[in-house]
A and B are shown apart, each in its own frame.
Chain A
Amino acid sequence: MTKPLNPFILADGTKPSCMEMLQLILDGEATAEQQVYFKAHMDHCLPCFKSYDLDTTIKELLKTRCCGDSVPNELVDQIKTQISKNLAL
């Protein structure tokens, strides 16, 4: 059986590393074909298998833990007031 062609290979023939492939998958930048290839690749590449879980967890944690700062209540009003003042000038 012939090995499926790696759809991550660049036009100039450069073969991306595991971490480069993983990054595209993780960030939703991979094509459907690349996703299928990577899923199969992960079954026999332990570093990718481990990193996938770890990197996905970090990405999720960043999103849930670092987006919670609330906006000071007065900020929107201050912006609107400032714009009205500038318009009146």
Chain B
Amino acid sequence: MEEAPKQSYSDQEKNDIFNNEFLPHIKSMYNFGFRLTFDQDDAKDLVQDTYLKAYRFIESFQKGTNAKAWLFRILKNSFINDYRKKTKEPSKVDYQEVETYYNSEDVDRQITPDLRVESLKDMIGDEISNALNSLDVDFRTVIILCDLEGFKYEEMAKILDIPIGTVRSRLHRARNLLKEKLSEYAKSMGYKNTEL
């Protein structure tokens, strides 16, 4: 992803980069893989495949640059090119609809005026995780990258190969969908009068 000229590393340097710059991100990588596939074995395969590719193409990685973003981009591409094709899971997101929504005048409409902080804090089970998992994969992905992993918009744009404006609009839509879901959970938990 960093368009650096191809590097030349000794075997020792390759192993150092692999152990010190790549492997420390394995927990985040596995979590990303699991939240994309919802299957432990598929997540393991995706992560393993990502690390093998990272090693094979290690000379395209410039030492000391953003290894985590580089690895996430490989995993995302493996997911789209290999896993998704294999499972034939179609992309369910209509991007035209997304952009139209974002540009519409009611974008600031409060979809979930009834959701409140107090009810969120009472969600001590898997509600937050389930709400995230309920989102379509492209919306889920931007939330994972931004809120779970703390990537900046610019990094997300590179990982996902989309313009920063699209990162922003997709995040906005994803968060509204997440709030709708959390709002449903809150209602089922018995929160009715919901004004702050």
Query: Do A62 and B147 form a contact, CB below 8 Å, given A72-B44, A75-B47?
Result: yes
Asked if A9 lies at the interface with its beta carbon under 8 angstroms from chain B, I say: no
Shortest CB–CB separation between residue A27 and chain B, in angstroms?
6
Query: Contact at A62–B143, with CB atoms within 8 Å?
Result: yes
Query: Contact at B48–A75, with CB atoms within 8 Å?
Result: yes
Query: Contact at B148–A62, with CB atoms within 8 Å?
Result: yes
Query: Do A23 and B168 form a contact, CB below 8 Å, given A54-B117, A61-B128?
Result: yes
Docked Cα-Cα span, A58 to B143, in Å, equals 11
Chain B positions within 8 Å of A17 at CB level: 107-108
Query: Contact at B115–A86, with CB atoms within 8 Å?
Result: no
Query: Do A82 and B132 form a contact, CB below 8 Å, given A58-B178, A67-B148, A72-B44?
Result: no
Shortest CB–CB separation between residue B7 and chain A, in angstroms?
18
Query: Contact at A29–B152, with CB atoms within 8 Å?
Result: yes
Shortest CB–CB separation between residue A63 and chain B, in angstroms?
6
Bitwise interface map of A from 32 to 61 toward B, beta carbon under 8 Å scored 1, else 0: 000000000000000100110111011101
Q: How many residues of B contact A (CB 8 A)?
A: 45
Shortest CB–CB separation between residue A52 and chain B, in angstroms?
10
Shortest CB–CB separation between residue B105 and chain A, in angstroms?
10
Docked Cα-Cα span, A79 to B54, in Å, equals 11
Shortest CB–CB separation between residue A88 and chain B, in angstroms?
13
**Chain A residue at smallest Cβ distance from B27:** A71
Docked Cα-Cα span, A47 to B196, in Å, equals 11
Docked Cα-Cα span, A83 to B55, in Å, equals 8
Chain A positions within 8 Å of B172 at CB level: 19-20, 23
- In the complex, identify which listed stretch (B30-38, B67-75, B89-97) lies at the interface while the others stay far away: B30-38
Asked if A78 lies at the interface with its beta carbon under 8 angstroms from chain B, I say: yes
Chain A positions within 8 Å of B55 at CB level: 83, 86
Query: Do A58 and B30 form a contact, CB below 8 Å, given A23-B168, A66-B148, A72-B44?
Result: no
Name A residues whose Cβ lies closer than 8 Å to a Cβ of B. Answer: 17-20, 23, 27-29, 47, 50-51, 53-55, 57-59, 61-63, 65-67, 69-72, 75-76, 78-79, 82-83, 86
Name B residues whose Cβ lies closer than 8 Å to a Cβ of A. Answer: 18, 23, 26-28, 30-31, 34-35, 40, 44, 47-48, 51-52, 55-56, 107-108, 110, 115-117, 120-121, 123, 126, 128-129, 132, 143-144, 146-148, 152-153, 168, 171-172, 175, 178-179, 182, 196
**Would you give 16 A-B contacts (Cβ < 8 Å), ordered by A?**
A17-B107, A23-B171, A23-B172, A51-B110, A58-B178, A58-B182, A59-B147, A61-B123, A62-B147, A66-B129, A69-B27, A71-B26, A75-B44, A79-B47, A79-B48, A82-B48
